[in-house]
Amino acid sequence: MATTKTSANLTAPEQLQPDLDRALQALDEALAQAKKRGASAAECALAHSRGLSVSTRLNEVETVEFNQDGSLGITVYRGQSKGSASTSDLSPEAVAIAVEKADAIARFTQADSCAGLADKELMAFGYPEPELFYAADQSPEYATEQALACEAVMLSVDDRIVNSDGAHYSSHCGFRVYGNSHGFIGHYMSSRQSLSCMPIAKEGEKMERDYAYTVARNPALLSSPEAVAREAAATTLARLGARSIPTCSAPVIFHSDLAHHLFGSFAGAISGGSLYRKSSFLLDHLGQPIFPDWLDIHEDPLIPGGLASSPFDHEGVVTQARDIVQNGVLETYLLTSYAARKLGMQTTGHAGGIHNWRVQPKASHLDADLSALCKRMGRGLLVTELMGQGVNMVTGDYSRGAAGFWVENGEIQFPVSEVTIAGNLKQMFQQMVAMADDVDPRHGVLSGSVLVENMKIAGA
């Protein structure tokens, strides 16, 4: 586990240890109580978080919030009937009551042939200790200093920045504990820090806003308040003078800060819940080409400091590096144990989500940066903001409000707003032309900007 030299203000692993010990004791008690009551199986999970958030606006502190939360979730099985309950009180008496309630529900719940724990041989026994916890200053003084410094620089960059929607700093740390009646008990600590700000700029009678942020588990990897402020100011000022464009069909670049949305929709479409409910546009596509043959997607659950790293999933199943897509072909679904049984397959360790995807283009389709990708596109729309939730996971139809920049002859010409981009995700995946090497590290899906060959753009 990674640590740094600590001071009185730094939150270190030993400060979380008492809470972790109580959680492990409560988990042991719950499993013992379930066994005592005659349950055929049981599982427990607890995610604990503590930290603070500070918001400032116009050089004044608006809010300082402390939080510490976490409740023990208990699931009891009687055959293939199950019941669940939870408690935030980890005393033996409260845990016993929660187990009793879960057991009572299981006694009156209809059996489900696919219910039950994940198979014992898939448990993450002997899992490696992940490098996800980094000591951080969680004092309100430090958080306030970071937010105020960021906003002060942001407001000083340009006279056209006339207002602020504030700056926000947060620092949280905690742990996750999972155990079941297979004899598996696992836990790991993690941390996360972030800083953001949102300026408001004005030119003439028109106003625009944008934002910038930095996030990392390791505070040493955060961008400085000055860097965040200058990025936020630059992106906001660039939007001044935005206008709509005539309705047309044209290539579209999804900026790297947005590209993870596209691949997130892909992840949803190949997830077990969507598949066994037959509510996915990629139903029965295993082993088929989804993307062009120059694109691979690789998953690595144990990247040190990875925002989506985990040594085991929410069912205790060991996570492992795997190819999700190879040469454009779908290599695996994303399955929990329940979904796997529904589909007659085996769980892939994805209860709780994906684990650090890296979207990797072949060299022939990888451009050095966003500027080079714009030159490859020639003429079209660079999208830097998406609005709305217009994605139909059953049909793949895609329609979302967008803003960004119009590109001609490979160069940005003017900012664009009040347009809608539309297409179908199956076609959009196949029509990906190239990617830039501007990978955004702030997401669980690591991808550069993506060029899609053709989309409908509805404007003025």
Which among 431, 450, 441 has a CA at the least distance from the CA of 382? 450
Q: What are phi and psi of 223, to 5 degrees?
A: -65, 155
Which among 442, 439, 366, 371 has a CA at the least distance from the CA of 405? 371
Residue 154 CB partners (closer than 8 Å, separation 6+): 161, 164, 167, 197, 199, 229, 230, 232, 233
Is 280 part of a structural domain of the chain? yes
Give residue 43's pLDDT: 98
One domain for residues 226 and 273? no
Q: Kindly state the tokens that stand for 351.
A: 């209860």
Is 331 part of a structural domain of the chain? yes
For the chain, give the percent of residues with pLDDT over 70. Answer: 98
Among 208, 238, 268, where does a domain finish? 238
One domain for residues 393 and 438? yes
Is 347 part of a structural domain of the chain? yes
Please list the alpha-helical segments (H only) found in 318-369.
Answer: 337-343
Range of the domain at 362: 248-458
Q: Tell me the average pLDDT across 388-405.
A: 95
The answer to whether the beta carbons of residues 322 and 346 sit under 8 Å apart is no
The CATH number of residue 199's host domain is 3.30.2290.10
- Beta pairing, strands 357-361 & 445-446: parallel
Rounded Cα distance, 324 and 357, in Å: 9
Q: Tens digit of pLDDT for each residue in 148-176?
A: 999 999 999 999 999 999 999 999 999 99
Total domains in the chain come to: 2
Give residue 9's pLDDT: 66
Give residue 345's pLDDT: 97
Q: What are phi and psi of 294, to 5 degrees?
A: -90, 0
Q: What single letter denotes the amino acid at residue 320?
A: Q
Residue 60 CB partners (closer than 8 Å, separation 6+): none
Which among 231, 216, 134 has a CA at the least distance from the CA of 444? 216
Is 105 part of a structural domain of the chain? yes
pTM: 0.93
One domain for residues 298 and 369? yes
One domain for residues 168 and 192? yes
Is 3 part of a structural domain of the chain? no
Q: Tens digit of pLDDT for each residue in 52-105?
A: 999 999 999 999 999 999 999 999 999 999 999 999 999 999 999 999 999 999
Among 193, 216, 238, where does a domain finish? 238
Q: Tell me the average pLDDT across 5-32.
A: 84
Give residue 418's pLDDT: 93
Q: Tens digit of pLDDT for each residue in 202-251?
A: 999 999 999 999 999 999 999 999 999 999 999 999 999 999 999 999 99
Give residue 2's pLDDT: 41
Is 72 part of a structural domain of the chain? yes
Q: Tens digit of pLDDT for each residue in 301-360?
A: 999 999 999 999 999 999 999 999 999 999 999 999 999 999 999 999 999 999 999 999
Is 443 part of a structural domain of the chain? yes
One domain for residues 173 and 133? yes
One-character DSSP codes across 385-430: EEES--B-TTT-EEEEEEEEEEEETTEEEEEEEEEEEEEEHHHHHH
Q: Tens digit of pLDDT for each residue in 172-193?
A: 999 999 999 999 999 999 999 9
Among 212, 238, 264, where does a domain finish? 238
One domain for residues 214 and 267? no
Q: Tens digit of pLDDT for each residue in 93-141?
A: 999 999 999 999 999 999 999 999 999 999 999 999 999 999 999 999 9
One domain for residues 66 and 111? yes
One domain for residues 290 and 146? no
